[in-house]
Structure 1
Amino acid sequence: MTSRSLMRVSVAGIIAATGLALAVAPASAHPKPTKPAKTVPVRLVAINDFHGNLEPPTGSSGAIVNEAGTSVPAGGAAYMATHLKSLVNKDTAVVAAGDLIGATPLISAAYHDEPTVELLGKLGLDVSSVGNHEFDEGITELRRIQDGGCHPTDGCSPAGRWKGAKYEYVGANVLKEKNDRFALPPTSIQKVNGVKVGFIGLVTQTTPTIVSSAGIEGLRFAEEVESGNRAAALLRRQGVKAIVALVHEGDSITPNQSPDACPVTPGAGSRIASGLSADVDLVVMGHSHQAYICKTKDPAGQDRYYTQGSSFGRVLTKIDFQVDKKTGEIVRSSVAPDNNVVTRDVVADPQITQFVQTWKDRVAAVANREIGQITADIGRPASPSGETPLGILIADAQLEATRAGGQAEVALMNPGGVRTDLTFAQSGSEGNGVVTYGEAFAVQPFNNLMQVVTLTGAQLDALLEQQWQNGGATVRILQPSASLTYTMNLSQPIGSRVSEIKVNGTAVTDTQAIRVAANNFLVGGGDGFSVFTQGTGLWSGPLDIDALVAYFEAHSPVAPPVVGRITVAG
């Protein structure tokens, strides 16, 4: 008890002893001392699925629908830095929900993502859950990225010896297979504005099915909710009551919604968000590359927010809340999330701009690397069916890249994603017929992830019928892999133009389950192909550009493929 409190007790005793009325003086004449604040403000700024997009992403990956319902250019490290500076204050921790590295553009991937990790350190990132792509090169490489040291095979990058990440990776459900001990720290405790906030890291338990076996060798990925609850109990035993889960798992959404809306189709993300124990106050998600702010009930019936901020640095999720100073608990009613689009109508941060340019200059030699040869021009002139030699070549490459891990049977490529031709004549000093990495990247510059979903035969038919949109005014013919053939009859009404669908020469039935590969733009319903969003068993694999490079490396010299996978009748 303070001396001021003792004084108040003494005055009250005198009044009681003398029988004086309490109204001797107006209350306003003796205002009570201002009490110290009972809560303190805390702000989190979250990112997810950055995938090394140091330069502004292009195409569909470089735009997002804003709060007004308008698609705007978004992303780019220098713009993200400017927006981040406007959101960060002394009450802020910067956090992430995985896939910051892996499946990255050449500027980062060429140097094992050291440029991206260095950038995130410059931006003040404090802690991140691991994502499945953090394991693309295995746990040993992830530890090197965390702790420092040069790559054991490729040596040091042009920047010199790698010093390690300035932020911490956590993964409460990543266990050593031999003894079930944690392979990574399960939690991280950060002191934010004078209070302790505990962060739990969780990655999708499907990681073994979407990462190469070499990447997850010796590891086991436990169920997320059970692992998260154990980690929350551990934090409580350490005296931490304000708890946030960073979860690399998420839901699909209805496309083209405000980033602050909740148009989710309940899935793995919702299951985790509602299943984690009531000790967890807030769930920050990733993995599905969607933007949403949703609310659910925890097992105790309390409201709990779960959020996700798109991908490729296009959204920063700002979350404000109050922490009770006495109990250390987050005041649930004070939690206020907001997805902020990283627009490009601000001044790009000059230091980060220079940082990115430095790495762009360093990677020039990689861009000139020969990946294969072609025997003639492979371009985009369309046949009467809408097939193009380059389009179907890319589909073949994508099928080959997704067949083993995703069990893909067919692949489909959106024609708008093929941006330029491959020409036989040399474009520089590489020689006729030589294809460089830079040339292949110009064909597919969007850094889309390859994904595979299961569709029924009836759904595949419905998907192919969506090639004619807006009453036929818009026609987008998906480029098929050689394993998929069908007939189109343009004299039939829209919705009834596709027939005789075959996979590997066998007629497809309506109930048959077919594994279909496409880039994540299409799988997310892009270009109006909404049937893709009905797919199940989502698997994510390499970048589309990596699929094409691998195909050239395996099959060169490559001749222009013959169109004719689609038969035109009527």
Structure 2
Amino acid sequence: MSTHSHIPITIWSTSDLHGFRCTPGHHPLMSDLNRMHALARMIEARRRELGRSFFWFDNGDAYQGAPLADYIMSDLRNGEARLHPMTEWFRQSGCDAFVPGNHEFNYGQHTALRLAEQFPAPWLSANIVLEDTNEPLFGTPYRIWTTEEGARIALLGLTTSYIPAWEQPAHIEGLRFLSAVETAKRYIPLLREEQKADVVIVSYHGGFEADPDSGTATEPFTGENEGYRLCTELNGIDVLLTGHQHRQIEGVRIGHTPVLQPGSHGSNVAEAKLLLQQADSGRWTVASVSTRLIPVDSTEPASAPEWLRPYEADITSRLNRPLGRIIGDMRIRNPKEARRVKHPFVQWLNEAQMEAAGVDVSLTALMDDHAPGFGPVVTDRDIAANYPYPNTLAVLRLNGRQVKEALERSACYFTINNKGELAVSDEFQSPKPQPYNYDMWEGITYTLDISRPLGERVTELLYRGQPLSLEQELDVVMNHYRANGGGGYDMFIGAPVVKHIHREVIELLAEALYAKPEWHARLTENWRVIGQRGKEYI
């Protein structure tokens, strides 16, 4: 068999842009305009250089995570007729296809469908289907391009099937989330045999449930991440593009399949360079694939382009709205320390949730390591900086056994390192940091002794000054992600739901602040984390 010619193909993939959220203090919108524009310039330059042999796909979770994105999502959900700024950015940058992630459903499937209708390219997700017809929610599950030389390039879109474990039921009513692996087993032969695809790229908003090098399981199998199985149980995937876990993966193969993941927030582009060769039969095959990550240099200052300025003025006005004053100190100077020793800001969060729900027990988390707490004057900007997720609240009726199991799960967040110091366990740092999965409670008294074995760390558990029995029931308010068992809190699954509060936590927090002119920072020391020989880690 002789070779007639070769075609170079370049694939770029982005993922988990999250509205290009950046750490507080960088930009009044808390969206990294420098990174947005730097990435757009890179894409434009590569497309100009390579023409029709260049493809750029985004792998989802683009529309949630920064106020610039989140406020407009709320407006769209409420029926406003406007174009989302991320959609305009994708249009101006020339995106070829989009694979929705789990966060695209945070504002309901109808909002997601509106975004898909306005998008400049197809939304592809083969495994999100309508319950009654089994047809893909967003229409076509794949897209095929034909090069000038006649090579057929197929892209199959897949999304993590674990969305029902996190999302509000009303947001995904009438939908089924099928296994990515089982769906790919159906579509890849179809693409190869019926559609005569020469190249099959899979873009999967999901990650790896096992170490890519060793195959050792890195998490209990839930279906959230199926990337390793996609590579080991299927033939016919030329490149697997992944996301969701915010990892940076390049130059890696699982079996014969090259895999990539570009990190998050536009920090990198994942690049796959394929060389196709034509055989006597006329069909094209992949002769070689090389992969790498390309850092996005965002050091050059950028100002908002003309199309973004109306959004910028609107969001800035909202973010600068003063809500209340704090008497005392609610600033968080060390978020990691605020998880070891109770902080007044954490207490305030829990008390605001209890007030909104009308219960006397609550749990919450510091959502990331950039949470700044509150200064003397609190604005909507401060709430967004501390609470970046569009969660709502639910009240579950839990028994003492479930409360204790949940505290034991939170206690897994800590370990004692070889220096005898309290540290964050690997489970909550890999494949990405998960500070949002460590809960702190109000309304009960408890002690976590990290020197004890896992599952035996709750050494004190009281309610209203008395030991909490395993059968005693409490009504506990928490965000809906946790109420659905998200973060490994399986003990909450199936617990009776006393009530749902169908308004976002950030709205409830703003209302709480606005309800009275001043708030006094206070601290009730109802929990502690201790280590070896009973010493507190302070």
Specify if TM > 0.5.
Answer: yes
Does the residue aligned with 1:387 lie in a helix, a strand or coil?
coil
Cα deviation per residue 1:250-303 (whole Å; 9 max; x = unaligned)? 13799xxxx999999376233442256312222111112222133223xxxxx0
Query: Within 5 A, what are the aligned runs for 1:18-167?
Result: 38-53=5-20, 57-58=22-23, 76-85=35-44, 87-88=46-47, 89-90=50-51, 91-101=53-63, 103-112=64-73, 114-147=84-117, 164-167=118-121
Aligned residues of 2:34 and 2:302 also touching (Cα < 8 A)? no
Distance 2:16 2:356 in 1: 21
Cα deviation per residue 1:430-473 (whole Å; 9 max; x = unaligned)? xxxxx5312423x528x47889xx9886664453455x996659
Distance 1:349 1:547 in 2: 32
1:566 deviation in Å?
Answer: 2.7
Distance 1:375 1:562 in 2: 14
Confirm whether residue 179 of structure 1 aligns to residue 133 of structure 2: yes
Confirm whether residue 463 of structure 1 aligns to residue 450 of structure 2: no
Please name the residue that 1:159 is paired with: none
Q: Which residue identity is paired with 1:235?
A: L
1:105 deviation in Å?
Answer: 1.3
Q: Which residue identity is paired with 1:187?
A: Y
Aligned residues of 2:3 and 2:278 also touching (Cα < 8 A)? no
CA RMSD of aligned residues (A): 5.1
Does the residue aligned with 2:91 lie in a helix, a strand or coil?
helix
Distance 1:272 1:538 in 2: 27
Distance 2:38 2:356 in 1: 33
Distance 1:419 1:124 in 2: 36
Please name the residue that 2:380 is paired with: 437
With over 3 angstroms needed to count, the CA separation of the structure-2 counterparts of 1:124 and 1:324, relative to structure 1, is same
Aligned residues of 1:440 and 1:549 also touching (Cα < 8 A)? no
Larger radius of gyration: 1
Aligned residues of 2:198 and 2:284 also touching (Cα < 8 A)? yes
Alignment match of 2:364 (pick from 379, 389, 411)? 411
Q: Which residue identity is paired with 2:413?
A: L
Aligned residues of 1:244 and 1:284 also touching (Cα < 8 A)? yes
With over 3 angstroms needed to count, the CA separation of the structure-2 counterparts of 1:349 and 1:559, relative to structure 1, is closer
Aligned residues of 1:318 and 1:340 also touching (Cα < 8 A)? yes
Alignment match of 2:204 (pick from 236, 243, 247)? 247
Distance 1:455 1:292 in 2: 34
Aligned residues of 1:410 and 1:516 also touching (Cα < 8 A)? yes
Q: How many residues align?
A: 451
Does the residue aligned with 1:227 lie in a helix, a strand or coil?
helix
Overall identity of the aligned pairs, in %: 17
Distance 1:242 1:217 in 2: 35
With over 3 angstroms needed to count, the CA separation of the structure-2 counterparts of 1:216 and 1:197, relative to structure 1, is same
With over 3 angstroms needed to count, the CA separation of the structure-2 counterparts of 1:138 and 1:418, relative to structure 1, is closer
Distance 2:33 2:415 in 1: 32
Please name the residue that 1:550 is paired with: 508
Aligned residues of 1:296 and 1:306 also touching (Cα < 8 A)? yes
With over 3 angstroms needed to count, the CA separation of the structure-2 counterparts of 1:43 and 1:178, relative to structure 1, is same
Does the residue aligned with 2:153 lie in a helix, a strand or coil?
strand
Q: Which residue identity is paired with 1:209?
A: A
Structure 1 window deviating more from structure 2 (164-173 vs 81-90): it is 81-90
Does the residue aligned with 1:553 lie in a helix, a strand or coil?
helix
- Ranges in structure 1 where 5+ consecutive residues have no aligned partner: 1-34, 63-72, 148-163, 298-302, 403-407, 428-434, 510-514, 521-533, 540-544
Please name the residue that 1:150 is paired with: none
Distance 1:399 1:469 in 2: 39
Please name the residue that 1:188 is paired with: 143
Please name the residue that 2:186 is paired with: 230
TM-score scaled by length of structure 2: 0.68
Cα deviation per residue 1:96-145 (whole Å; 9 max; x = unaligned)? 222122x2311122223710011012111100212122222333322322
1:356 deviation in Å?
Answer: 4.7
TM-score scaled by length of structure 1: 0.64
1:393 deviation in Å?
Answer: 2.5
Query: Within 5 A, what are the aligned runs for 1:366-515?
Result: 366-369=318-321, 373=324, 376-377=327-328, 379-380=330-331, 386-394=341-349, 410-413=363-366, 417-423=370-376, 435-441=378-384, 443-444=385-386, 447=388, 460-461=410-411, 463-464=413-414, 480-482=440-442, 485-487=445-447, 500-502=459-461
Q: Which residue identity is paired with 1:128?
A: F
Does the residue aligned with 1:313 lie in a helix, a strand or coil?
coil
Aligned residues of 1:455 and 1:535 also touching (Cα < 8 A)? no
Distance 1:349 1:121 in 2: 19
Distance 1:74 1:264 in 2: 38
Please name the residue that 2:527 is paired with: 566
With over 3 angstroms needed to count, the CA separation of the structure-2 counterparts of 1:319 and 1:381, relative to structure 1, is closer
Does the residue aligned with 1:145 lie in a helix, a strand or coil?
helix
1:552 deviation in Å?
Answer: 3.9
Cα deviation per residue 1:11-68 (whole Å; 9 max; x = unaligned)? xxxxxxxxxxxxxxxxxxxxxxxx9852201000001111211xx6126999xxxxxx
Does the residue aligned with 1:363 lie in a helix, a strand or coil?
helix
Alignment match of 1:205 (pick from 161, 177, 180)? 161
Aligned residues of 1:75 and 1:314 also touching (Cα < 8 A)? no
1:177 deviation in Å?
Answer: 1.1
Cα deviation per residue 1:207-254 (whole Å; 9 max; x = unaligned)? 122222222122111121221222223323122231111111113799
1:421 deviation in Å?
Answer: 2.4
Distance 2:356 2:209 in 1: 24
Distance 2:17 2:444 in 1: 33
Aligned residues of 1:273 and 1:306 also touching (Cα < 8 A)? no
1:546 deviation in Å?
Answer: 5.8
Please name the residue that 1:323 is paired with: 276
Please name the residue that 1:70 is paired with: none
Please name the residue that 1:285 is paired with: 242
Distance 1:482 1:277 in 2: 48
Distance 1:203 1:381 in 2: 36
Aligned residues of 1:49 and 1:312 also touching (Cα < 8 A)? yes
Distance 1:455 1:252 in 2: 24
Aligned residues of 2:414 and 2:423 also touching (Cα < 8 A)? no
Distance 1:215 1:469 in 2: 46
Does the residue aligned with 1:215 lie in a helix, a strand or coil?
helix
Please name the residue that 1:153 is paired with: none
Q: Which residue identity is paired with 1:146?
A: A
Distance 1:38 1:128 in 2: 31
- Ranges in structure 2 where 5+ consecutive residues have no aligned partner: 74-82, 393-403, 425-434, 471-475, 482-486, 493-502
Distance 2:11 2:462 in 1: 49
Q: Which residue identity is paired with 1:366?
A: R
Does the residue aligned with 2:161 lie in a helix, a strand or coil?
coil
Please name the residue that 1:364 is paired with: 316
1:392 deviation in Å?
Answer: 2.9
Q: Which residue identity is paired with 1:107?
A: L
